[in-house]
Amino acid sequence: MSERGEPSGIGAVIRGLLGAPRLRRGLSLGRLSKDWATVVGEDLASETQPLSLDETGLVVGASNPAWGAQVRFLAEDIRRRASETLHGEAVGPVRVVVRERTQNRR
């Protein structure tokens, strides 16, 4: 509804949704997931994945502690490349969680 109580056009509704911080972050996470191999390289991408992206930073899941250590070692490079992939969108600190591999991974 508009300020005058009239129904809003579909364009206004979509613009409003796309401007919502939570949806913007979800779209950014999707874009980052799609381009993950470009951000971290093929080898690291096969053992890790971005899990969440919000105002506190980027959470990366690793298949085991060794790959988690590699992500921690490269955290600043990953943060910078993720920001570049997202066309300059600020990406906070990279944090790592170790997760077991799922069946539907690459």
pTM for the structure as a whole: 0.73
Q: Would you list the DSSP string of 64-102?
A: SHHHHHHHHHTHHHHHHHHHHHTTT-----EEEEE-PPP
CATH no. for 21-98: 3.30.300.180
Domain boundaries, the chain: 21-98
- Per-residue pLDDT 10s for the chain (106 aa) are 556 666 667 776 666 555 555 555 658 899 999 999 999 999 999 999 999 998 889 999 999 999 999 999 999 999 999 999 999 889 999 999 998 765 444 4
